[in-house]
Amino acid sequence: MALVPGGPSFGASELAEAIGASPSYMAKLLQKLVHAGLVTSRRGAGGGFSLARPATAITLDQIIFAVSDAPADVPLLPSCATCRLADVCPITEAVRRAEESMEAQFRTLTVDVLAQLLRGPDGHTERMLRDA
């Protein structure tokens, strides 16, 4: 959707085909995105799904938490808090820092930036999606 800003709405089947997912799975994801206010849906002729806000205003962490069944305060990486060796384990601090860094990146990485990354050097996105 972000690859065609201001473009048409897309059907769940069309989006599923573009990324190689099943249409039913894509429909479930899209409904979660609609519920989170990230995507809008319209029924009928010319209907489909489109971004609810500009791609520059939707971040990766918003998408992850919208489609995830976990609450927003659940860490993205496994927690060392439940490990009985956490106090002496040399990777506990590294995991904590990695999680903080990843979450910070996800809070600032927007759909617009992701769409730009999908575009090839020649600006063609259809080929990039088809060849993926």
Domain CATH code at residue 49: 1.10.10.10
The verdict on residue 2 lying in a domain is no
In a domain, 4, yes or no: no
The string of pLDDT tens digits covering residues 49-107 is 999 999 899 998 899 889 887 655 555 555 666 777 777 777 777 877 888 888 888 88
Model pTM? 0.69
Euclidean distance between CA atoms 80 and 76, whole angstroms: 12
Q: Which residue is listed with tokens 């500009």?
A: 54
Q: Cα(71)–Cα(39) distance, rounded to whole angstroms?
A: 19
Domain limits at 76?
Answer: 12-123
Residue 72 resides in a domain = yes
Query: Does some domain include residue 128?
Result: no
Residue 1 lies in a domain: no
Q: How many domains does the chain divide into?
A: 1
> Is residue 95 one of the residues assigned to a domain?
yes
